[in-house]
Amino acid sequence: MIAGVKTKTLRVLPDERGRLMEILRRDDALFQEFGQVYMTTTYPGVVKAWHLHKKQSDNICCLGGMIKLVLYDGRSESPTFSEINEFFLGVHSPLLVQVPADVYHGWKCVSPEEAMVVNIPTNVYDYKQPDEHRLDPHQGGIPYDWTRKDG
């Protein structure tokens, strides 16, 4: 696992009325601080990558569909420099992944339906000076191939 990355297996509590799933609590061991909560969607086969934040951690969970979340450690001083982690998140794998600052991350929707992703970053989005650094998902210099691996 890339240094600083943490995960929490999420528990779904179903009953005859529906389901409940806690995503992040302030008494969780991985809780840092609260910035905001937002939801984004990704259409099947679409890649949303690469993103990097200098000041914030992201807490990513997929509530609908499935995504393949990929992390790349580009921190030259890190003991896990150049490592890649893959996580499958969504309805079939309820998981929260905490992505620390300075770790590149992105995802691909791998379900036949649109994926719905919730992120709980530790900082609020600054519209004037966004803490958002991007690389092209296919030609950005990160050694990762987003194509499906059959076999």
Q: What is the CATH number of the domain that holds 95?
A: 2.60.120.10
Residues 6 or more apart whose CB falls under 8 angstroms from that of 133 comprise 51, 52, 53, 54
94 belongs to a structural domain:
yes
Q: Is residue 102 part of a domain?
A: yes
CA distance 91 to 113: 11
Domain encompassing residue 109: 6-12+37-126
pLDDT tens string 8-17: 999 999 999 9
* Number of separate domains in the chain: 1
Q: Is residue 17 part of a domain?
A: no
pLDDT digit string, tens, across residues 37-90? 999 999 999 999 999 999 999 999 999 999 999 999 999 999 999 999 999 999
Q: Is residue 41 part of a domain?
A: yes
Domain assignment of residue 78, yes or no: yes
Strands (E), the chain: 6-9, 12-15, 18-21, 38-42, 47-52, 58-64, 66-73, 84-90, 95-99, 103-109, 115-119, 133-134
The CA distance from 8 to 77, in Å, is: 26
Q: Evaluate whether residue 139 is within a structural domain.
A: no
In a domain, 28, yes or no: no
